[in-house]
Amino acid sequence: MIDFDGSGFFARLRKVDNGAFGKMIDDFMIDDERIVGSYQSLRDGVVFTNKRVITINIQGVTGKKKDFTSIPYNKITTFSLETAGFFDADAELEIYISAVGKVKFEFTGSTNVKEICKIISSYALNT
């Protein structure tokens, strides 16, 4: 499980095809749930669905051990976005989860982070 004390961190995420993690999380998804955005770092990933955010932490040398954390949109109380700049080429997104803590995502500068914020807003504000 993610360490929600502020050290939960996913670095250098970039947009990938929505099928990249589909098989990994298919067993967790409910009938009317669909993937709306997928992002991957070297090994780890984050998937935004129409119901929640699913983080995937690949562990161990072989990568067979995986940690999946589900963050329902209705538990997101606040999120903060720091866009990429001239000297800092990465964008950072912090999500604060009710009664749990926060998790931080770092996206490559080419990522459309406004699209991610729109996804979170559209589902978190409609719950």
pLDDT of residue 63: 87
Q: What is the DSSP letter of 27?
A: G
User: What are the structural domains of the chain?
Assistant: 5-124 (2.30.29.50)
pLDDT of residue 1: 60
Nearest to 109 by CA among 127, 87, 124, 79: 87
Whether the CB-CB separation of 47 and 57 falls below 8 Å is answered with no
Query: Hey, what amino acid is at 78?
Result: T
Q: How many CA atoms lie within 13 A of 28 on its CB side?
A: 20
pLDDT of residue 123: 93
pLDDT of residue 16: 96
pLDDT of residue 87: 67
* Per-position pLDDT tens, the chain of length 127: 676 665 567 889 999 999 999 999 999 999 999 999 999 999 999 999 999 999 999 988 888 899 999 999 999 999 999 988 766 778 999 999 998 999 999 999 889 999 999 999 999 988 6
pLDDT of residue 10: 87
Alpha-carbon distance 91 to 126, whole Å?
A: 25
pLDDT of residue 5: 66
Whole-model pTM? Answer: 0.91
pLDDT of residue 127: 63
The residue whose two tokens read 């699913």 is: 54
